[in-house]
Amino acid sequence: NTFVGKILAVTVADIERVAKATIDPEKIVIVLVGDRAQIEKAVAGLNLGPITNLTIEDVLGKAPVVEGN
């Protein structure tokens, strides 16, 4: 089995090269889940960009209504 050897052979330069070729910084999204009151100030202090707060309904839509139950 050569899997572990191949993983250990990966260098920082390899990772950086692939990341630069595949990740578009203009399209990156960071998703945080937690108590907004507890984390929002610290996250804003990181100056990563605009913060958009979404609810579960914003992401998945309204929960379906099951009639007849």
Q: How many CB atoms lie within 10 A of CB 43?
A: 14
pLDDT at 38: 96
Banded pLDDT at 69 (limits 50, 70, 90): low
- 66 is written with which tokens? 């099951």
Half-sphere exposure of 62 (CA within 13 A, CB side): 3
pLDDT of 45 reads 97
pLDDT one-digit tens code per residue, 1-57: 899 999 999 999 999 999 999 999 888 888 898 999 999 999 999 998 899 999 889
pLDDT of residue 28: 87
- Output the pLDDT for position 29: 86
Token pair recorded at residue 4:
């572990």
